[in-house]
Amino acid sequence: MTTSKDFSACVAQYDPNALPVEAAQEIVRQWAMPRASNAQTERVSLHDALGRVLAEDVISPIDVPAFDNSAMDGYAFSGAALARSSGSDTIDLAVAGTAFAGRPFAATPGAAECVRIMTGALMPAGCDTVIPQEHVTRAGDTIRFAAAKIRAGQNRRLSGEDLAKGKPALLAGRIVRASDLGLLASLGIADVSVHKRLVVAFFSTGDELRSVGETLSPGSVYDSNRYTLFAMLKRLGVETIDLGVVRDDRASLEKALREATARADVVISSGGVSVGDADFTRELMSSLGDIAFWKIAMRPGRPLAFGRLWSGARPGAGKPALFFGLPGNPVAVMATFYFIVREALLAMSGAAHQPLTVIRARAAEPIKKRAGRTEFQRGIATREADGRWSVVTTGSQGSGVLSSMSEANCFIVLEHARGEIDAGEDVEIVPFDGLI
């Protein structure tokens, strides 16, 4: 386990009050080692495996396909017939029988013979080539086709060409996708070993917060962060513990942090880390654990506390949990989740590195940007007639404007050193949607 001394060493080279985003990501990466409890695995059936992290390589127990078979509906024959016919433009073969998928042709056709064959049917003995039916004219039990239409070995799927027996079909750390479920089924595998789900506890802080179902009094707002966090965590496949709204007082916060640390691998709070609250929270944190940094040079998301808390009476005692104290503003919660928290949760879940998809796009309008911080603006990207992407912002970039996230389809990521962006300049975007 990393000690708090190593911890300070990796932070010391930076200003913890305004850490560049890359430095913050690197520190989080170093701290987000896979949990000891990753040794705990469970076997789940295919239907329950979607989105889970494979704990072991899956070795193919069979060749897929298990036998050479036809890739087309047509006629199977020996490619040697093509060599023999050199000089003549057409080839004539006698049809000796039919091979269906699941109903092979049992005999061996002769040199001047072929077999009517359907897609997926076992290649008859001695046959290595399939001429698609649309290239063939058939008269009675004879077919004729132009020799130029085909080369020996074409339209045959080779045994093991998809997956070879004894070779890894999927690697440990893989997050199981739709295609993987099909692939596992194609191997006849009914269940797989996956890591136990990472447990993440989260809560909101703020005297002004009301939960859905309560009545709003003057000056109060509904707590939206717990819902956004719940959804983002669910999508990552972790187990969630919702600890509700915590009032802005030391005793309530300490109780929530202790309970969360005792019950979860990772604790995420929102609110209470901005300038006004920082001192009180900071003092509490140092009594519960180590805090690596408080502020990141990013917008939205500048106040962000990251470190490790302990459930025992003092730091080092009891059980540790990684802690992310996210800002309260709803857009900041989402930006910091995707660019600071996400990778750590995946690594701790045992997943292989899953880089975000980054695409180049042309700014269709000027974008306001201040040098000295990374900005994650909300963008609407469209594909132009020439196939390139262009992007505009959603307008108001206030970190409380959650509707900007619903309106946008991407983050526009503007690097630390960059200033104002002119129309026509290239920028990087991270799309919200992935395909599978």
**Site residues (vs Mg ion, CB under 5 A):** 206, 271-272, 328
Nearer CB in complex with ligand AMP: 225/377: 225
Nearest distance, CB of residue 270 and ligand AMP, angstroms: 5
In sequence order, what E strands does 129-273 have? 129-132, 136-139, 142-146, 156-157, 168-170, 191-195, 199-205, 209-210, 221-222, 239-246, 266-270
Specify whether the CB–CB gap between 300 and 270 falls below 8 A: no
Residue 131 to residue 135: CA distance in whole angstroms: 7
Nearer CB in complex with ligand AMP: 41/274: 274
In angstroms, the Cα distances linking 160 to 58, 101, 104 are: 16, 17, 19
Give φ, ψ of 91 to 5 degrees.
-125, 135
Query: Is position 271 an interface residue for ligand AMP (rule: CB under 6 A)?
Result: yes
Query: Is position 334 an interface residue for ligand AMP (rule: CB under 6 A)?
Result: no
Pairing of strands 199-205, 266-270: parallel
User: Binding residue for ligand AMP (CB under 6 A) from 124, 160, 173, 327?
Assistant: 327
- Closest C-alpha among 374, 379, 366 to residue 405: 379
Say how many residues make up the chain. 436
Query: Is position 57 an interface residue for ligand AMP (rule: CB under 6 A)?
Result: no
Nearest distance, CB of residue 5 and ligand AMP, angstroms: 31
Angle between helices 21-31 and 4-12 (to 10 degrees): 160
- Of 28-36, 67-75, 174-182, 328-336, which part binds ligand AMP (CB under 6 A)? 328-336
Nearer CB in complex with ligand AMP: 208/242: 208
User: Binding residue for ligand AMP (CB under 6 A) from 160, 300, 307, 328?
Assistant: 328
Residue 100 to residue 153: CA distance in whole angstroms: 19
Q: CA 113, 119, 122, 125: dihedral to nearest 10 degrees?
A: 20
Residue 240 to residue 90: CA distance in whole angstroms: 68
User: Binding residue for ligand AMP (CB under 6 A) from 270, 374, 390, 397?
Assistant: 270
Residues with Cβ < 8 Å from 370, sequence gap 6 or more? 299, 419
Query: Is position 220 an interface residue for ligand AMP (rule: CB under 6 A)?
Result: no
Site string for ligand AMP, 61-90 (x = CB under 6 A): ------------------------------
Nearer CB in complex with ligand AMP: 155/228: 228
Specify whether the CB–CB gap between 400 and 371 falls below 8 A: no
Nearest distance, CB of residue 414 and ligand AMP, angstroms: 22
Q: Which does 204 bind (CB under 5 to 8 A by kind): ligand AMP, Mg ion, none?
A: ligand AMP
Nearest distance, CB of residue 174 and ligand AMP, angstroms: 34
Residue 347 to residue 353: CA distance in whole angstroms: 7
Query: Is position 221 an interface residue for ligand AMP (rule: CB under 6 A)?
Result: yes
Per DSSP, the three-state class of 2 is: coil
Query: Is position 225 an interface residue for ligand AMP (rule: CB under 6 A)?
Result: yes
DSSP 8-state secondary structure symbol assigned to residue 255: H
Task: Tell me which residues in 388-427 interact with ligand AMP (CB under 6 A).
Answer: 400
- Of 1-9, 18-26, 160-168, 322-330, which part binds ligand AMP (CB under 6 A)? 322-330
In sequence order, what E strands does 265-424 have? 266-270, 289-295, 298-299, 303-310, 320-326, 359-363, 374-383, 389-393, 410-414
Per rule CB under 6 A, count of chain residues that contact ligand AMP? 17
Query: Is position 269 an interface residue for ligand AMP (rule: CB under 6 A)?
Result: no
User: Binding residue for ligand AMP (CB under 6 A) from 92, 162, 208, 259?
Assistant: 208
Q: Which does 265 bind (CB under 5 to 8 A by kind): Mg ion, ligand AMP, none?
A: none
Name the residues that contact ligand AMP, by CB under 6 A.
Answer: 204, 206, 208-209, 221, 223-225, 270-272, 274, 327-330, 400
